[in-house]
Amino acid sequence: MLRLNETVAGLDLAEMLRDEAGIFEGTSPSGEKYQIVCRSGYSITNLRPVHPKGHDKQGNSQWRVRKVGELRLEQETA
């Protein structure tokens, strides 16, 4: 489990975030930035571009992912 502000790098985004829960900031190998939401047991539940235009090409072959937030616990209703 990643801690807040911890950063990891890898080739497979889904594999890196398997068994994770929270809000993440991801940078693709081509430099595009994404906000990623993962829920426990579901891996990636939402992936949306943060800056879809004007991204900088870094020429990197790996994803970089940083955990930026925790999800609030969803309360059960009776």
In single-letter form, the type of residue at position 5 comes to N
Interval 54-73: pLDDT, tens: 555 556 789 999 999 998 87
Give the model's pLDDT for residue 76.
Answer: 47
Residue 1 burial (C-beta neighbours within 10 Å; 0-12, 13-18, 19+): exposed
Give the model's pLDDT for residue 59.
Answer: 62
Helix H, strand E, coil C: the string for 21-32 is: CEEEEEECCCCC
Which 3 state secondary structure label does DSSP give 66? strand
Residue 75 DSSP class: P
Give the C-alpha separation, 35 to 51, whole Å.
10
Per-residue pLDDT of the chain (78 residues; tens, 9 = 90+): 899 999 999 999 999 999 999 999 999 999 999 999 999 888 798 988 886 555 555 567 899 999 999 988 755 454
| pTM score, whole prediction | 0.80
